[in-house]
């Protein structure tokens, strides 16, 4: 009652303020003499006066908007601390379940300025926009002669007379942290020898250079070498002979990796380098990822790198850029209104990064200058002309031959500085190879440099030596835009290395591990944040002596295992089977450890009396929510045994926004009711758990609880065995056997109705949505939003792609289908199970190779605004088949669709008729959508998969692929180790209120706020931890609410990560707080979103954000903490522009 009064009073206040402000506004516009004067200076026409009036009105409306949003904030504060229990559902006779209206008001308060960003319009357009380049190119794959995918290059001998050619030969060794061998096997067999020889051989001649990229290998080697060797390495780095390029833990895949993990592995590598060698990388090196995302240049730029290099780009784009001298460009983000995201990028022009394809256009000649292939060695030149050792007798002829290649290659670039990489996979592992390459090349350089008439200066160099010489030549400092170079926006997917061999299969290959990757990522983020908060509170209470600081080593290990898996042969699913198992074991090991870290932190934070805290590793206070029996098995949820005394649960919400969620818990009795920590009953629903289409698990029930979970906080719940009539509302189930004679094991306590035939078509609905299904298949047919007359056709179906019959077939990398997909035709019709209940209803369809579950939540807020879709896929009896899920709709999307890059940004795509089907697939790490002027349909995903839109109104995703052969890219295996894999999605239909054609044709798009929030809900599920003690001697537990204020809903706490102390297994007093302000499109917001959301023009007060903790210091830094930005000020107010990610070094306590 008291709450209602407060809300009424505040509502009235808002109304009064609004009316009074509008009155004042009109009053000021009419009677403000100063305003009259400013208008009076322009008596030329009435229009300028009117224009001024309109501007004044806009300004006043803005002020008014701010007043109201402040009042809304205070209403939120009031209601947040009021009795905010969700009301209990009831079931009217003959009706469906009704949930009483929310006891707390919900609103969306987005300032008009915050909507301006997505409308764009600022900034000049780039010289090269990749979507436009694709539309322009013929993709005709003509034979170019010696440079097969290019053209003949000619030059005039005197072109370098005035300005000599400057050549930098850059020795490198590409070390995959797992591919054909495991990470450890590569290290012991090859990598350690490469690095040991490097220290020895580089010291023999100060002119020698070498670059290294993968810190995962380098740190393992460092741990095994002497102090003397370490000092030598520091000297080599210090004098510029050895350069660390990029400096990430790995060279990550850029298609399937999520931006959290991309940043995390970059920080892991950079922190290691800073601590052990004292070096900060300046240039990026990515020779092997299979296509490139525009997220990477953004992350490198924000880490203060000034240039980068890429190699695996579609051969037709390379040819086009070479012909127009656009292989070097400033890479800019599509949303950037100025030039703050620009980074200089060098694209290698030829087929590969090996020696035959790096000295110039003719591989037959370049191969003769790979001195590892000298006759008598283990490898030779496939072009049948071997290298010859350089002697005084042949040096003139050999040097001329090589110089000709250098000159031809340099004609493809705008400057007279040339980059020539010299290396390949796991090169330089024997001292003999160092001698062969370095001595022979030095003889060539000495000859070239001694002949002024050749106008060339050649030397060994590092990557940054090359970029520095280029900047010097064009007269700028590193990081600035060199004059005369083009600006490019967009990305480089999808990649083809020859013919129609598109590398679009790896977007889905081994989806089981792509999913496990994201589960581990969500746990790592949750564990980092909760550990940081628990440690800060423990230190503040001087209890850190009793807190398990050793958990920091588990966190550090998980960072490294997640980082390792971002490698471009790991998350891609393109390693040998045994290597995939090795990655899986590492991921599972870290997942289990992170559950322990979260449990330990939660234990400390929920204790009413912290003095009673004791850490006992042998008997953890909190149990785990689920367990996995092996690295390739699906999780099994913990069943809680009910007794006469209540069981307690601690629920962790890893999101920075409060959430109203349905929390599922398995119990061993149907007689259960759920109470809040204060003893109030909570809305819940009881259902059976099913082990198959027709079998229930005996004595295991799911109780689903609707609970309000504090942002980044912990909520305590109680489970009571109810022996009286206070039963939890039960869901009722209808099972349609479709004419199949199957035995059914009926559940005891939950109503089940069995129908021998197939169902008629039917619908499920909540207050926002109605979803209708085909009775025969149990698959989705249409979606209708509340308040709409007409629904949308959203027809889902399963399809199967085969592979070609010709010599080239699909494999781990390549997708080479045998034409369009055919409908999936199982041998039996599906069993369909429809369950309806107060909190959610769901439809399960059981097919031979896939079980699909579509769930509609009947709750206010985010959960109830989209459909929850999951597919349990098992295609282990398929041969050369790929299973796809396609949604066909009446949305008039034409040939345009949208996919995300790394969960960070959206890239518009166009279905290209002139390209083969497989070329039109793209990575989908987080979401894809199609739209027309009225609607947008978004498929949000919890794991990276390949996606396309092959016809107007369609969206399809490849769920799994089983392929029996290698696709000739070095792996030497097919994909035959498929697992039972669960793919999870959300399907969100939104109305577009203010779409316009001009807007839609820009090469940029943003999700709505609802879509962003739905995505984080899907990817960061609440964790339910049972208190292990079943006895009543339980300490008092209190919910933990870490945030003192509500974060603006376009802010995302990407991470709060404790930094390591001198002893790297322990945390220091400092943490890295990484914030991301999301860009969003306002034109999609529905009327009744049912969640509280305000934005603040990018302003955030960090000082009072964490309840009960003080912010001791706040230092803005570069993304990976290598450089302080500005001086540490006393102010704790920060500002972030949309799309920006910012890192702060902070002290909490």
Cβ neighbours, 10 Å, residue 500: 15
The label of the residue with tokens 């047919």 reads 781
**184 annotated active-site:** no
Which of 532, 523, 582 is closest to 552 using CA atoms?
532
State the virtual CA torsion across 1035, 1037, 1043, 1044 in degrees, nearest 10. Answer: -90
928 — phi, psi (to 5°)? -145, 150
Which of 899, 818, 885, 811 is closest to 494 using CA atoms?
899
State the virtual CA torsion across 610, 612, 618, 622 in degrees, nearest 10. Answer: -50
Using CA atoms, how far residue 248 sits from 263, 299, 426, 479, 578, in Å, is 9, 11, 18, 20, 25
- Please report how many Cα atoms fall inside a 13 Å half-sphere around the Cα of residue 711, on the Cβ side: 21
- Residue 700, both tokens: 């295991």
The label of the residue with tokens 């003690």 reads 1029
CA distance 1082 to 117: 10
Residue 856 β-bridge partners: 841
CA distance 359 to 365: 9
Angle at 769 between CA 764 and CA 771, to 5 degrees: 40
Which of 619, 622, 590 is closest to 604 using CA atoms?
622
Of all helices (H) and strands (E), which one includes residue 504? Answer: none
The label of the residue with tokens 């699906």 reads 634
SS3 1018: helix
Exposed, middle or buried: residue 156 (CB in 10 Å: 0-12, 13-18, 19+)? exposed
CA distance 552 to 1061: 10
CA distance 33 to 1122: 54
Residues 245, 283: contact at Cβ < 8 Å?
Answer: yes
CA distance 427 to 395: 25
Which of 308, 96, 222 is closest to 764 using CA atoms?
96
Residues 287, 353: contact at Cβ < 8 Å?
Answer: yes
User: Is the Cα dihedral 673, 675, 680, 685 positive or negative?
Assistant: negative
Which one from 288, 370, 465, 967 is the annotated catalytic residue?
288
- Mark 206-232 as b/e (b = at least 16 C-beta within 10 Å): eebbbbbbbbbbbbbbbeeeeeebeeb
Angle at 924 between CA 920 and CA 925, to 5 degrees: 155
Using CA atoms, how far residue 666 sits from 301, 529, 704, in Å, is 47, 27, 9
Supply the residues annotated as catalytic.
Answer: 288
């Amino acid at each position: 009652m008291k709450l209602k009064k407060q809300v009424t009073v505040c509502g009235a206040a808002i109304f009064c303020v609004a009316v009074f402000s509008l009155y004042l506004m009109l009053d000021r516009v009419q009677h403000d003499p100063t305003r009259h004067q400013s208008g009076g200076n322009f008596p030329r026409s009435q229009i300028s006066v009117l224009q001024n009036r309109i501007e004044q009105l806009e300004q006043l409306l803005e002020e008014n908007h701010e007043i109201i949003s402040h009042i809304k904030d205070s209403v939120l504060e009031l209601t947040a601390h009021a009795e905010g229990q969700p009301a209990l559902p009831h079931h009217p006779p003959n009706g469906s379940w009704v949930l009483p209206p929310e006891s707390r008001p919900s609103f969306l308060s987005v300032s008009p300025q915050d909507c301006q960003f997505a409308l764009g319009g600022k900034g000049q357009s780039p010289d090269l926009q990749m979507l436009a380049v694709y539309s322009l190119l013929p993709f005709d794959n003509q034979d170019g002669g010696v440079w097969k995918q290019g053209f003949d290059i000619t030059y005039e001998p005197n072109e370098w007379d005035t300005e000599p050619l400057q050549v930098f030969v850059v020795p490198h060794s590409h070390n995959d942290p797992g591919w054909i061998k495991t990470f450890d096997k590569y290290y012991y067999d090859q990598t350690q020898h490469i690095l040991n020889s490097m220290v020895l051989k580089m010291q023999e001649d100060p002119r020698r250079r070498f670059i290294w990229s993968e810190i995962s290998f380098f740190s393992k080697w460092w741990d095994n070498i002497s102090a003397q060797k370490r000092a030598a390495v520091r000297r080599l780095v210090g004098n510029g002979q050895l350069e660390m390029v990029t400096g990430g833990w790995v060279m990550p895949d850029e298609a399937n990796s999520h931006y959290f993990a991309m940043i995390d592995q970059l920080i892991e590598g950079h922190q290691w380098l800073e601590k052990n060698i004292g070096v900060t990388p300046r240039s990026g090196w990515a020779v092997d990822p299979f296509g490139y995302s525009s997220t990477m240049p953004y992350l490198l730029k924000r880490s203060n790198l000034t240039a980068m290099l890429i190699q695996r780009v579609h051969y037709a784009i390379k040819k086009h850029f070479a012909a127009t001298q656009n292989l070097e460009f400033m890479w800019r983000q599509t949303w950037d209104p100025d030039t703050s995201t620009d980074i200089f990028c060098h694209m290698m022009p030829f087929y590969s990064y090996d020696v035959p394809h790096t000295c110039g256009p003719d591989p037959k000649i370049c191969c003769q200058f790979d001195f590892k292939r000298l006759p008598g060695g283990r490898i030779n030149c496939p072009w049948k002309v071997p290298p010859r050792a350089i002697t005084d007798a042949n040096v003139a002829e050999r040097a001329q031959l090589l110089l000709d290649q250098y000159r031809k290659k340099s004609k493809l670039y705008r400057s007279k500085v040339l980059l020539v990489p010299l290396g390949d996979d796991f090169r330089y592992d024997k001292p003999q190879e160092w001698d062969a390459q370095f001595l022979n090349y030095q003889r060539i350089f000495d000859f070239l440099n001694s002949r002024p008439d050749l106008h060339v200066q050649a030397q060994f160099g590092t990557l940054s030596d090359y970029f520095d010489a280029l900047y010097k030549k064009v007269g700028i400092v590193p990081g600035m835009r060199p004059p005369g170079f083009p600006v490019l926006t967009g990305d480089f997917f999808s990649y083809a290395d020859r013919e129609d061999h598109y590398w679009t299969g790896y977007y889905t290959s081994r989806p089981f591990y792509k999913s496990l990757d994201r589960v581990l990522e969500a746990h790592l983020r949750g564990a980092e944040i909760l550990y940081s908060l628990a440690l800060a509170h423990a230190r503040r209470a001087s209890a850190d002596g009793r807190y398990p600081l050793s958990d920091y080593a588990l966190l550090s290990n998980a960072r490294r295992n997640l980082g390792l898996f971002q490698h471009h042969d790991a998350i891609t699913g393109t390693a040998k089977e045994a290597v995939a198992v090795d990655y899986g074991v590492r991921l599972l090991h870290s997942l289990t450890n992170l559950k322990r870290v979260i449990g330990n932190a939660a234990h400390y934070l929920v204790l009413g009396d912290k003095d009673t805290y004791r850490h006992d590793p042998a008997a953890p206070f909190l149990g785990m929510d689920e367990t996995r029996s092996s690295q390739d098995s699906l999780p099994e949820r913990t069943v809680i045994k009910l007794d006469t005394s209540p069981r307690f649960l601690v629920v962790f919400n890893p999101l920075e926004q409060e959430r109203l969620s349905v929390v599922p818990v398995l119990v061993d009795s149907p007689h259960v009711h759920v109470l809040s920590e204060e003893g109030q009953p909570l809305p819940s629903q009881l259902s059976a758990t099913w082990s198959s289409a027709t079998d229930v698990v005996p004595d295991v029930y799911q109780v689903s609880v609707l609970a309000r979970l504090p942002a980044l906080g912990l909520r305590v719940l109680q489970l009571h065995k109810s022996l009286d009539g206070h039963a939890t509302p039960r869901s009722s189930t209808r099972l349609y056997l479709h004419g199949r004679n199957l035995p059914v094991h009926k559940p005891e306590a939950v109503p089940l109705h069995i129908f021998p035939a197939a169902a008629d078509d039917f619908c499920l609905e909540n207050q926002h949505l109605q979803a209708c299904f085909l009775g025969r298949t149990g698959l989705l047919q249409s979606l209708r939003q509340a308040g709409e007359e007409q629904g949308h056709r959203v027809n889902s179906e399963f399809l199967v792609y085969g592979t070609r019959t010709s010599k080239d077939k699909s494999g781990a990398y390549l997708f080479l289908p045998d034409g369009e997909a055919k409908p999936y035709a199982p041998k039996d019709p599906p069993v369909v199970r429809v369950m309806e209940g107060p909190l959610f209803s769901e439809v399960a369809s059981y097919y031979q190779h896939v079980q699909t579950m579509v769930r509609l939540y009947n709750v206010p807020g985010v959960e109830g605004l989209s459909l929850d879709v999951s597919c349990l896929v098992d295609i282990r009896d398929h041969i050369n088949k790929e299973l796809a899920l396609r949604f066909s709709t009446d949305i008039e999307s034409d040939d345009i669709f949208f996919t995300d890059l790394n969960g960070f940004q959206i890239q518009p795509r166009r279905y290209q008729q002139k390209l083969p089907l497989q070329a039109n697939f793209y990575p989908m790490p987080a979401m894809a959508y199609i739209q027309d002027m009225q609607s947008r349909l978004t498929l949000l995903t919890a794991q990276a998969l390949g996606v396309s839109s092959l016809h107007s109104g369609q969206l399809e995703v490849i769920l799994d692929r089983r392929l029996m052969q290698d696709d000739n890219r070095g792996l030497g295996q097919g994909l035959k180790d498929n697992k039972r894999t669960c793919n999870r999605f959300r399907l969100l239909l939104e109305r577009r209120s203010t779409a316009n054609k001009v807007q839609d044709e820009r090469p940029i798009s943003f999700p709505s706020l609802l879509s962003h929030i739905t995505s984080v809900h899907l990817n960061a599920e609440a964790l339910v931890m049972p208190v292990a003690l079943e006895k009543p001697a339980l300490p008092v537990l209190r919910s933990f609410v870490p945030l003192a204020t509500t974060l603006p809903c376009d802010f995302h706490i990407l991470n709060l990560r404790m930094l390591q102390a001198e002893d790297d297994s322990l945390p220091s007093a400092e943490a890295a707080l990484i914030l991301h302000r999301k860009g969003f499109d306002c034109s999609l917001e529905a009327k009744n979103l049912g969640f509280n959301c305000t934005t603040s023009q990018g302003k955030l007060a960090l000082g009072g954000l964490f309840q009960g903790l003080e912010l001791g210091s706040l230092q803005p830094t570069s993304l990976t903490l290598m450089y302080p930005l500005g001086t540490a000020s006393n102010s704790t107010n920060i500002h972030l522009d949309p799309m920006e990610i910012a890192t702060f070094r902070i002290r909490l306590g």
